[in-house]
Structure 1
């Protein structure tokens, strides 16, 4: 596997999706993994771009066949990452990025110990609440559920190699880009990419 596997985790409202979108706009060698899900498409979502939408029966058949790198059931719907697609992209020298939760990250690390784990933190608990309420998408009850989920998610933050606090978006984006660039010039990656050059100096 020549590519890097980046796994980005964050509580809802921390700004993960916006940061990842900007990263992908500026770096075309990273491919975003599109998850499979059993939930219905939301307005504006496109099959194959946002998710691969499948039936529950199809998803469970894929579980049985070992098709998923990781999968979980969240609020009554399944979500999963295609194992074959990830392996093919990494073997083809592409970097791959996953946006998943901490439980999915734990499953992925069991299969890919060299994955690069990145956790996006909000600057404070109060700011996370302000962002969630400011979106106007959720009821007060839903916001409380997301805040409780954030506490659980953030309790696993030290399982990740890199922790980025998204207080100012541009600074957080610079940090994210820096992590990606550093991973590409790590000893492990350069050993794979530069054997001919290194052999010239032996």
Structure 2
């Protein structure tokens, strides 16, 4: 397999970063591609893990100067990915993992073509609500209001994986899709 950007997308709380974390742990040669975001840092996060945290003013200035390959506004929070991050990944890493919203995934797919694969993590609405409650997400009703829209766009991705309950099955499915047995994980 030539160098690829593997785009993991889905609704908020669908397990995108959990899947990416497990893949990064198992395959240390993989590279994670962080987004820049205006959202507040959560407990356990740091700058660059899983995002680069910047102000709205900084993001707008970078946008105007043409730094971004893709930008999204999700639930009043901006997320953006720089051209440099994507180009460096395609040039230097066999597999790079990108967590991004469904709109951003569609946009990146248009721009990268066969240099990427889009994977939508499908989770039932009731399960998402349970995860939001467990995580203590204060604005989860607003996030759930995007469910049908995200689900509909998700069905346009290259691959749709059920991620309701068995994270290990999700990982094995992705490994099979990417033929990771050829790369040798931990």
> TM (normalized to structure 1)?
0.79
Shift of the alpha carbon at 1:163? 1.0
- In terms of mean alpha carbon deviation, does 146-155 or 74-83 score higher? 74-83
- Is the 1:23–1:176 contact (alpha carbons within 8 Å) kept by the matching residues of 2? no
Q: Deviations over 1:10-37 (max 9, x none)?
A: 1123222212211111012221111112
**What is aligned with 1:66?**
66
Q: 1:40 to 1:172 in 2, by over 3 A?
A: closer
**What is aligned with 1:168?**
166
**What is aligned with 2:84?**
84
Q: Take 1:116 and 1:22, find their aligned partners in 2: how far apart are those partners?
A: 18
Gap regions ≥5 residues in structure 1: 186-202
| RMSD between aligned residues | 2.1
Shift of the alpha carbon at 1:175? 0.6
1:180 is matched with which residue: 175, 178, 181? Answer: 178
- Is the 1:37–1:54 contact (alpha carbons within 8 Å) kept by the matching residues of 2? yes
Gap regions ≥5 residues in structure 2: none
**What is aligned with 2:153?**
156
**What is aligned with 2:120?**
119
> TM (normalized to structure 2)?
0.85
Matched, 1:137 2:152: no
SS in 1 for 2:178: helix
Task: Give the total of aligned pairs.
Answer: 179
Q: Take 2:140 and 2:59, find their aligned partners in 1: how far apart are those partners?
A: 29
Q: Deviations over 1:155-184 (max 9, x none)?
A: 1122111111123222112112222226x8
Q: Deviations over 1:104-152 (max 9, x none)?
A: 0121122101120101112x3333323322x15134xx33222221221
Q: Take 1:14 and 1:41, find their aligned partners in 2: how far apart are those partners?
A: 19
Q: Take 2:12 and 2:29, find their aligned partners in 1: how far apart are those partners?
A: 26
SS in 1 for 2:179: helix
Larger CA Rg, structure 1 vs 2:
1
- In terms of mean alpha carbon deviation, does 86-95 or 157-166 score higher? 86-95
**Structure with the largest fraction of strand:** 2
